[in-house]
Structure 1
């Protein structure tokens, strides 16, 4: 009975965190961009610091009609938003917040999270294919091409940390972390973060879904709550990327004070990384398709391989 109660608590905790964290990041993006770009609109909705902007956005999406194009494959079209967002919920369950505070403490947690995150691209492919729109299909294929390019440096840089820690468990990696990693694994951190932005199609890597490119990529035919789910999947991806970066490279719950407040350090580190994700969006122009591919294959992959080699040599020598 106690085991079942613990399981229910963990499931409820993951669901609540998944529903709240992406919305907080989305609201933060509105406010941070408003400050950086002097956009006053989002700062006034509802009064104090525009607190009602999130509510207004939610009402807007709810009241819009969810249209299914006549030429669309209806079943795949309707399921695509859920396929895009559910992998992030599964990934969140395996990321530890503090010792003992994790939805599912897996021995191969890093492998599980990386594998599950890569499934999200299927939602974009399904959306592009099922829309019955050749431009949406083209956008879906461009998303797939981008994610295939950046998946390799993303995984290689994470593998470097696993080699250094001698474990695939995210809890084990966080426990093995030490401040020296901030220098030793810095190239891997940079590669991991950049590749993660590209996997999430975040600016400056949003070429496949940018309105100035091929309409809005695979999401052109989506309206209402289905479109909102794709947006929520993007913010959920930011949460997962930020939390994973904090655990792998920044020590997770490591910080001053007792372990009982370790969860505070994890959340703070995750929030800082999420802020950097938003700051990058505001600060850098969008890359061209050729620049995007060159960055992946000519820069990130060699750096990630070099980092992995250095880590392997360091582990053997020590």
Structure 2
């Protein structure tokens, strides 16, 4: 894979444009495969934890083709649009929500050699680009000419502002200890001790804030089927609705990979087990994080909007500030 890293580190030009596209196709295939079966896996996990059946008919004994059938149903479903909707923005909103979810994947180092863009500020790039999806959600709520959709879009904007700040501040400790915002260098600094052991508070804050950024239970207020009949995407159907759902699960992939890189040591092996390939270590840690997000969804009830805001500003933000203070002291005294 060294030739991939060398190509991606070189100056972009029209001559290697198609090569960029070619080497991106495997990542696209992996992500789409993950989305397809992460939905199935999540439904199975939810069924197991909540003592009920998950999909177990379509595609054989284990329901392996259930998600494929769901995707086909969405693709052939009629594409409707409210008569009074803002047509250009209504059409554009799913694209704005979807495209950044794939853009952030370029900065994730899956192994030391499998990284599509080795940014010096890869961490900053990930956080900045991922925030663009909220614009798509807000645009969808506004363009739908539906009060429920607009309320869901406004909730998403408020939620992003409230939880983006503690999410960023929870990463200051990682940057302090690693001395870099380059994701590969952050992984290399965890060769012996993963940062989850030296930044447990930062890890907990980041996971909570990331759950809110992903709009997943218990922070799925922008959707809130019991209140807003699906919220910001209530007027969307067919493949446009599929774009929103695809973006949500691609972000689950990206955020789980980022947590693996920042706190679990990425592809770094457990001492004494270095003979296991690095991509296997990354896959194991990544799968644990994905399961954790599914577990949270299965066990926590949805918060009220006022509880959401209060928790973000009165608990997470002070905790993140305290973690920065403690991290600076530990860094100065012990490292």
Same fold by TM (over 0.5)? yes
Contact 1:25–1:239 under 8 Å retained in 2: no
Which runs of 5 or more residues in structure 1 are unaligned?
none
Contact 2:36–2:68 under 8 Å retained in 1: no
- Which of 57, 74, 90 does residue 87 from structure 2 map onto? 74
In the TM superposition, 1:1-318 aligns within 5 A as 3=7, 4=16, 7-40=20-53, 42-177=55-190, 178-179=192-193, 181-256=195-270, 257-258=273-274, 261-317=277-333, 318=335
Contact 2:44–2:54 under 8 Å retained in 1: no
Between the aligned partners of 2:33 and 2:62, the Cα distance in structure 1 is 19
Between the aligned partners of 2:108 and 2:37, the Cα distance in structure 1 is 18
Q: How large is the Cα RMSD of the aligned pairs?
A: 1.8
- Alignment coverage as a number of residue pairs: 318
Contact 1:61–1:224 under 8 Å retained in 2: yes
Residues 60 and 6 from structure 1, CA distance in 2 versus in 1: closer, same or farther, beyond 3 angstroms?
closer
Between the aligned partners of 2:316 and 2:91, the Cα distance in structure 1 is 36
CA offset digits 1:72-106 (Å, max 9, x no partner): 11111111111111111011111001101111111
Contact 2:211–2:217 under 8 Å retained in 1: yes
CA offset digits 1:271-292 (Å, max 9, x no partner): 1111111111110111111111
Between the aligned partners of 1:208 and 1:19, the Cα distance in structure 2 is 24
Contact 2:148–2:231 under 8 Å retained in 1: yes
Between the aligned partners of 1:158 and 1:308, the Cα distance in structure 2 is 9
Q: TM-score, normalised by structure 2?
A: 0.90
Cα displacement (A) at 1:201: 1.0
CA offset digits 1:93-145 (Å, max 9, x no partner): 11001101111111110000011111110110110011111221111001110
Between the aligned partners of 1:196 and 1:260, the Cα distance in structure 2 is 30
Which runs of 5 or more residues in structure 2 are unaligned?
8-15
Cα displacement (A) at 1:203: 0.3
Between the aligned partners of 1:14 and 1:152, the Cα distance in structure 2 is 30
Between the aligned partners of 2:325 and 2:54, the Cα distance in structure 1 is 50
Between the aligned partners of 1:300 and 1:231, the Cα distance in structure 2 is 27
Cα displacement (A) at 1:17: 2.8
CA offset digits 1:178-199 (Å, max 9, x no partner): 4263332000000000000011
SS in 2 for 1:212: helix
Contact 1:94–1:109 under 8 Å retained in 2: yes
